Structure formats: C-alpha cells, structure tokens
Structure 1
C-alpha cells in the first residue's frame, strides 16, 4: 500500500499519542474529521495500522527483571520448543531467527528464581543463553515513517 505525506503525518501523530481524537488529528493534518476517518480506515484495511494499544510498564506490575534468551533447540525438537516458548506468558516477544540459535525471546520476570523456573521448562529440549537487561536506551520503535 502506498502512503502519502498526509498519511505519514497521521501515523506520526498517532505514534506520539494513539488516543488523539479525530478532531485533533484533522487539525494537525489540515483535513476534515470524516476525511481523517476514511484515511485511518484505509490504513487499517491496508495493513499499515495493525491496531491501537496501550503501553504498560512491566515493573508497575511487579516484573522487576527483563531478560533476552537465545534458544537453540536440540535436533528434531524445533516445533516442540516453539510451542513451549509460546506457552510461557512471561515471554512478551519471540523471534525465529537464522544462525546458530533458532529463537530470541524477550521476557519479564519478578525474580531470578522465576527466570530459572521458566528456563527449566525448555532445558530438556533446548540450550539457552540468557542476558539480563540492565537498561533499554532505545525502546521499541518503528523505523522512520514516510519515503
């Protein structure tokens, strides 16, 4: 789907604050609210906008530690390990990657003991290498919007 400069401005405004009203969005891009509504619907239907969400701080929910786990399944266990990872709710993101490891999983835990317990779930089927996140100087973000 091709997006134009106005679409880019809409996306940038929504990235700053996804709760902006149609009236405010329209004001920012110089269109009427119905025109903005049509554009947003087109961006959703075209798969550019996948959804509107809320950003929750895991530490406010008691998740004090974040870790990135590289997972290398034992031969013949790829699909089993993938299912095991999917069944761990503390894993908030997981990428299937090329290279020596098959998965990179990001997870949040309340304690180091909880981390050990979760890793034990996959230890019979995969080797893991874990890095505890000290800081996140770049939070998850999109690449630049627009041409």
Structure 2
C-alpha cells in the first residue's frame, strides 16, 4: 500500500514499533526508541522525521485525566439534527467547550459527540443547547475497556 509522501511506500515492523511506542508515550526519547528497535539514534531520528513529513505522525500530545481535573462524568451524545439544521447543529457542537470530540457519522444520527462534565446538571445544560435544533440520545460512559491505540497497520513483508 503506497503512503502519500512516505519514501519506501510501506511501513515496516520498525515503523510499527516506533509508532506504537510514541502513541503510548509521546515523550519517549530517540535514544529509548533506538534501544527498543535496535537501531542507532540517528537512524531512528531519521525514521521519525520521515513519518512526520509523510503525515503519518501528525503531532504529540499529553493525555489529561478529565476526572482528575474535576470532570468525572463522560458521555456520548448521539445527535440527529432536524431537517435543515445540520450546519447550525455542527456550529453549536463546536461552540460547547465540554464536547471534547465529535464525528459526523452515517446511520440515523449525524453526529457522535463525547463530553466530559462535572455533573448531571451540566449534562442537562449541554443537551438543552442542542435540542432546539436536534434530537439527542445520551449514554453515560461507565468504563473504557479499550484506550486510544493504533489501528492495525499495513506492514510490508520482509524478504
């Protein structure tokens, strides 16, 4: 599978290890990555640079515990705009700071939005901002058995 801008055209097992390691801890040093993949630090630095330039690595971030900062309630909102209100609903969702993630999806609903909230009253307030223009269905997240991770990568077979 050709990757736009990726010189070799394919990811290999070393790239997979680098990506998985950086996904788990974006602060992993080049030296640590080099030890893990058994290459020199300059070789690993060059691989990371190529992965960044190809748009495969798009950035680095910190994982913040919403619960630790006083937002213990996480919810998914399924949102179905009333006819003609799709753009307005998208703008409303974008303007709600408690919504930390939103995707436009296929199916009966048009948006799937995740929010982190301090209370059920805050959940009700968010719903009230949306319901004049859309129907909502809300699910409170009990736990997350799968944390953010890489999807299976297309890896080139080694000769």
Q: TM-score per shorter chain, which class?
A: over 0.9
Structure with the largest fraction of helix = 1
- Please give the per-residue CA displacement for 1:13-69, whole angstroms capped at 9, x wherever unaligned: 223322111111111112221111111011011111111111111000100101111
Residue matched to 1:42: 50
Question: Does the 8 Å contact 1:23/1:33 carry over to 2?
Answer: yes
State TM-score, norm by structure 2. Answer: 0.87
* Contact 1:8-1:146 at 8 Å conserved across structures: no
Q: Is the 8 A contact 2:20 2:150 kept in 1?
A: no
Please, which of 65, 70, 82 is the counterpart of residue 57 of structure 1?
65
Question: Which secondary structure does the structure 2 equivalent of 1:59 belong to?
Answer: coil
Q: Which runs of 5+ in 1 are unaligned?
A: none
The number of residues matched between the two structures is: 147
More moved, 131-140 vs 80-89: 131-140
Instruction: Tell which deviates more after alignment, 3-12 or 66-75.
Output: 3-12
Q: Normalised by the size of structure 1, how large is the TM-score? A: 0.94
**Partner residue of 2:124?**
116
Equivalent in the alignment of 2:138: 130
Among candidates 84, 93, 96, match of residue 88 of structure 1: 96
Instruction: Give CA deviations for 1:71-119 in whole Å, capped at 9, x if unaligned.
Output: 0001000000001001111111111011111001111100011111111
Q: Are the counterparts in 1 of residues 80 and 134 from structure 2 also a CA contact under 8 Å?
A: yes
Q: Which runs of 4+ in 1 moved over 6 A?
A: none
- Alignment RMSD: 1.2
